[in-house]
Chain A
Amino acid sequence: MAKRSLSRLLGLFLLAVVAGLWFTRPQHIEASAIPERDPDLTNGERMFWAGGCASCHAAKDAKGDDKFVLQGGLELKTPFGLFRVPNISTSNAQGIGGWSTADFITAMVKGTSPDGRHYYPAFPYASYEKMRYGDLIDLKAFLDTLPASDNEVAGHDLDFPYSIRPGIGLWKLLYLSDRPFEANPNWDETTNRGAYLATGPGHCAECHTPRDIFGGLNAERWMAGAPNPEGGRGRIPNITPHADGIGNWSAADIAFFLESGFTPEYDSVGGSMASVQENWAKLPGEYREAVAAYLKAIQPIASMKAEDDGS
């Protein structure tokens, strides 16, 4: 009798697990859902720089044309373990040379690989999911013009339980919005353009917004500064228009910073922002001005002390 109910309980448990896996199963985007479009390579290259693909996928410290060789291998230290960024060059053997546009868009907005695995959010698809299909089609076409590299990258070294990929399904349920970018009706066109660039391709929040205990971005403290994800003493600065952040920077100061790397005090940018700034320097001025308008328009938020956010 007791044995009977135990096995019934086990059955229920298994059912729950199966249901859980079903709800959190990797999602795909069908080719039929993708609009027809003649790719615009100029726009594709702009999405490449705004998206910062080279900052992670090119070789460590790559400069100049080496930034176009997306050979992977950069090591990202995180609280969850060590990620090794994959090769996304046009190599068929080691890169993503054989991928269709649907495979690519699925990776960027659903965080799912062509063979149905969940990607880790160290690949910032929780931001890229806001990108428009047109921009993603152009970006894919641009990536297709870049050189192939046969660099073989080893797997990640993650701590248990983060080493279990299906677990990411739950994370996605919590943090992927599944909704396209929405313009704010109170903002003008430039500010909304900046909002799209900063929250979608630019993924500024992935560094400047603190995370909750599950590693999702804390929307209440949007861009208000965060502990350094790689550990160490420093913090990523608050870039809201608060006195603790960059409230005393003008929009022109922000645009100049993204262009030159110099703050209004003529200090020069460093850390992981240096590579972000180099990318933004390659974009037309109106891109930087739009992001500047957006950063002036967001909610001003006071900084937290380091001990308050678990760092």
Chain B
Amino acid sequence: MLKRVAITGITGLAVFAGAAFASEDPISTRQNIMKSNGASAGALFKMVKGEIEYDALTAELALREIFAGAVAFPTLFPEGSETGGKTRASPEIWKDKAGFEATALKLENAALAAIPAATSGLDQLKASLGSVADNCQACHEKYRLEKN
């Protein structure tokens, strides 16, 4: 019963995030996607570190969130959103749109590909988490500025 509630909670969050993708401010929308990435990565890492109990459904939902976010994310960098709203988006994104989109696509594919393993047990999650998480760093290295 409790589990059901938790699931609807997370699914609800996903739907809410989905609605937020369409918001009119691309900067805060893309930042919210990334905040949700942080939360999803947190859930996965905490299971791997043994800080929370392993749960296949939570792992799947976290990966689906990351997947959905990666689909929407590259569409949120229209001309004119290079600065403002404390954005840390690097000018490199606009100089190299194709490379940026390819990097998002890699995360999209990796998140989806990791679902079967991540839902079949903690050891498999441990073994496959790197294939997803490495994509976060790869993009931040090239396309995100340091904090101000």
- A residues within 8 Å of B by Cβ? 228, 232-237, 256, 260-262, 265-271, 274-275, 277-278, 306
Contact = CB atoms under 8 A, between A and B. Distances in A.
A275 B141 contact: yes
B126 interface: no
Interface string B132-148: 01001111110011111
26 contacts: A233-B145, A233-B146, A233-B148, A234-B145, A234-B146, A235-B148, A236-B146, A237-B146, A261-B133, A261-B136, A262-B45, A265-B38, A266-B39, A268-B133, A269-B137, A269-B141, A270-B137, A270-B139, A271-B140, A271-B141, A271-B146, A274-B138, A274-B140, A274-B141, A277-B137, A278-B137
A254 B138 CA distance: 20
B88 interface: yes
A274 B143 CA distance: 12
Interface string B105-148: 00000000000000000000000000001001111110011111
A265 B39 CA distance: 8
A72 B4 CA distance: 56
A5 to B, nearest CB: 57
A306 B146 CA distance: 13
B45 A260 contact: yes
A249 to B, nearest CB: 15
B106 to A, nearest CB: 13
Contacts, number: 60
A278 B134 CA distance: 10
A234 B88 contact: yes
Nearest to A252: B49
B137 A268 contact: yes
B42 A271 contact: no
B27 interface: no
A279 to B, nearest CB: 13
A271 B145 contact: yes
A265 B137 contact: no
A270 B148 contact: no
B141 A265 contact: no
B41 interface: yes
Contacts of B147: 234-235, 237
Nearest to B40: A266
Contacts of A256: 49
Interface in B18-70: 38-39, 41-42, 45, 49
Contacts of B133: 260-262, 268
A237 B145 CA distance: 12
Contact of A274 (B42, B137, B148): B137
Q: Which of A234, A261, A270 has the most CB of B within 10 A?
A: A270
A265 B42 contact: yes
Q: Which of A265, A268, A306 has the most CB of B within 10 A?
A: A268
Given A271-B140, A274-B137, A275-B141, A266 B45 contact: yes
Given A260-B133, A271-B140, A277-B137, A266 B145 contact: no
A267 B137 contact: no
A161 to B, nearest CB: 30
Contacts of A232: 145
A141 B59 CA distance: 46
Contact of B38 (A234, A235, A260, A267): A267
B141 A270 contact: yes
A262 B49 CA distance: 13
